[in-house]
Chain A
């Protein structure tokens, strides 16, 4: 409301400021009087130049005659042109423009281009809000944990708690919570899927046998569901069943909605598998450096989002977006932890985790990266720099 009052005041002030000269009787200024002043001044300058020796006497005289001629002409012109005062109708029309048309035009334009319902949202405020959310989530978790300690058979409680654990990166706890929920509520597909996912995340992206069995069960029940097949495809890739994995990815991609959020990730998995295929046919010995450089050249999984993605993201709900980001980071993590990657990719992962406020994970990733680049002095230097920035001491904080 204050905003609209301010806008009204601003518009009013502008309208008034223009009305004042319109409504006031203006002194009639003699046209060409200014010219006369200029030529008079020029005459004086000629005298001054003559005195200082900048002009010779005859040149000064010639210049004087020329300027005098202009002066006379200006005088004459001044008499010919009469400046009228004002005209009632014109004044009224102009006032109407100022008072009515101007505010309406401004308002109409603003309503079509502005976002009057969006207050400022500076970084500081957003940071405070994020911390607040985090704090309240922690509180909620603590309360639910206390409740479940007393009522371990409350299946709905476990069902609520498990995804929260997932989001805060406590996958072991999440897996346990899903197991508890399944124990009390039965083999619901959602719960099984959650358990499988928790197990996969717990193992840093590796699909272990338990998870794989769960996924296969789920696929049997609902052959068209995307999520189980997505992870099955990941698992097949990890198991070295490249052809099967490729076939499944291709099928998934073919069936996908064109704007599905997981599609880029799937494409990148597929591309990775297809790329892997070629060099093994040609040459089996791979230089480590080569592998690193090709990894760096590949389209990075988690690059800084381009403007389009962010626009799309801004249209999603807050939780969807958070999920998308978490998912992207997790995918990158899975890949780096299992297959390794370039230094830039590791840095990107660590930075993303810091942004997601997942300090423990970031530290973990840093340790892994340091281990991976043990041989490379340059990379180590960069990583140590990053470590010191995060307040992590690689020697003491990174346990085997």
Chain B
């Protein structure tokens, strides 16, 4: 037999434990070296970072192997897998549970360490060593958690015949991809935190630091954006309620680091260009990662389900909470000690690009605070008084949305203002075109949507202003009228990447805002019982229920309901929402059926059958909803262009010897 006596699982477990010990070394040797200016010790940093990554990867692959082969001698596999499950969900089952997802978390943590080791060639050796050392502390803390309190490699001596299967809700392609994306974003900010701590430890924080840290901020931000968007789309099509954002604590947990991360991305720009906002930028770096940790605590400790459920079995939650407190308090203490030494930077006028960026930061952090209190207040209240309240969409709509309006309004101005001293009146004049365009299109769009809905038109105005305003910078820089089409074309392609990056980033925000406004105002929801053969008119569509058929999937049975979607007697699409029951767990799930027309969607979900043969059907019309996620994609693209900007990869100082060699070669030639 091929597997007889193979020890892949135990090798993986050992690799995990060795990684814990290696990360302990990683948290000591490089930092010690950097503080003593010992080059041999600092030189171990990249090696240790690579090793940590390799070992955790080994452990992760071993666990994945156990999942693929349905090895129920691993308790974690037994709890979360089943032999009938399709291969992809066997693999995604690895992170579809507490232990495995924390292992993935750690894997990404050490991956970022390895990436800094590999791509950080332009960093000063001591900064690099200290950054990797700090990353080592985080890895050590979480590996300790994995090994002692959340170990996925615990075994069963007498494996049961069959596993308990993965939660059917998680057996979906969206949730197979969503956690890794989100974690890359979440955990990516750990490296930014490490950069900040290293700078504080070494007492060196300057414009160059901001430039080194920027690609890492951007990379994490891109993945966090994509992860959040993916999660939102998943919730939209899988949960079957037609909603795309619920202000649920789990969502907020990922949204808060996104907000501060966005602020950080902007303040790092100011720091790089003007050598100011240093203290603030470092503070944001610490806050962003702290919020990531807080999110991990909220999601992973079970405190969300119920504060009391958490109190019953608090071991894991307390562990993460301890990590959280140590890192947040430790870094803030370091910050408090070192920050006064840093306070020195360029002075700047309020009306300038940096002034606008400060405003951006103010609004984004205020928004974060609103989300923070909305998320934590119910928990604190429940812990203190036992009252269970829920802070829902109304609170966030009332607090968060008004804070975002000025952000949308100011974005185009910020793009056009010059550094140091800006000319607000001049910028306003330059934006006149965009303003007129916005006004006309907002009215046109409001009229076309058939509404005399004044709030919708105002909402359209804000969103379209962000869209046209963000693109206006490109128009403004190309100077088509002044230089003629040929040179304008050249200028268009010659625009610095940062311009594109900013324009696309802001454009994405505008598109998302447009999608949100349109969907919130004009969406329709119809719930009705339909009998086979029946045709009903839903808005502009005619819907015919044709009947249902049973179908057997690999690990579930489902009843597929078939509907014809027609408009003006023209057949558009056959909708086939289903209701599934998973064999292993017996849990029911409803799968939606969605069809897109342009950026709008029609969304079908079915519920229970009634006694007289009808079926409960929910039909949603969601105008322009796709823009919400397309906007996120555009934002990420903007971030990506910013990241690949060659300017961020300033060449490493070449060792003296090599340079001399080159000169000699040049002389010989």
Contacts and interface: CB of A to CB of B under 8 A. Distances in A.
Contacts of A62: 420
B172 interface: no
Contacts of A236: none
A14 B44 contact: no
Q: Which of A17, A38, A70, A355 has the most CB of B within 10 A?
A: A38
Interface residues of B, number: 98
Contacts of B6: 119-120
Given A70-B207, A109-B20, A110-B14, A355 B37 contact: no
Interface in B194-211: 206-208, 211
B193 interface: no
A135 to B, nearest CB: 15
B665 to A, nearest CB: 20
Interface string A345-387: 0000001000100000000000000000000000001100100
Contacts of A28: 39
Contact of B71 (A26, A33, A82, A122): A122
B496 A114 contact: no
Contact of B10 (A3, A31, A389): A3
Given A10-B15, A45-B647, A83-B39, A382 B25 contact: no
Contact of B158 (A31, A124, A318): A318
Contacts of B651: 37, 41
Interface stretch (B118-126, B322-330, B335-343, B571-579): B118-126
Interface stretch (B130-138, B160-168, B529-537): B160-168
Interface string B1-39: 101111111110111011011101100110011001111
Interface in A108-136: 109-110, 113-116, 118-126, 128
Given A305-B160, A313-B158, A90 B653 contact: no
A35 interface: yes
Contacts of A126: 72, 159, 161
B299 interface: no
Interface stretch (B148-156, B380-388, B447-455, B622-630): B148-156
B72 to A, nearest CB: 7
A294 interface: no
A110 B29 CA distance: 23
Contacts of A86: 38-41
A14 B69 contact: no
A6 to B, nearest CB: 6
B668 interface: no
A85 B125 CA distance: 13
Nearest to B275: A70
A36 B275 CA distance: 14
B125 A3 contact: no
Interface stretch (A91-99, A147-155, A158-166, A201-209): A91-99
B612 interface: no
Given A22-B40, A87-B36, A123-B69, 7 more contacts: A31-B126, A34-B127, A81-B37, A113-B147, A120-B3, A123-B71, A125-B3
Interface of A: 2-3, 6-7, 10-11, 14, 17-18, 20-24, 26-39, 41-42, 45, 48-49, 52-54, 56, 59, 62-63, 66, 70, 74, 81-87, 90-91, 94, 97-98, 102, 105-106, 109-110, 113-116, 118-126, 128, 304-305, 307, 310-311, 313-316, 318, 321, 344, 351, 355, 381-382, 385, 389
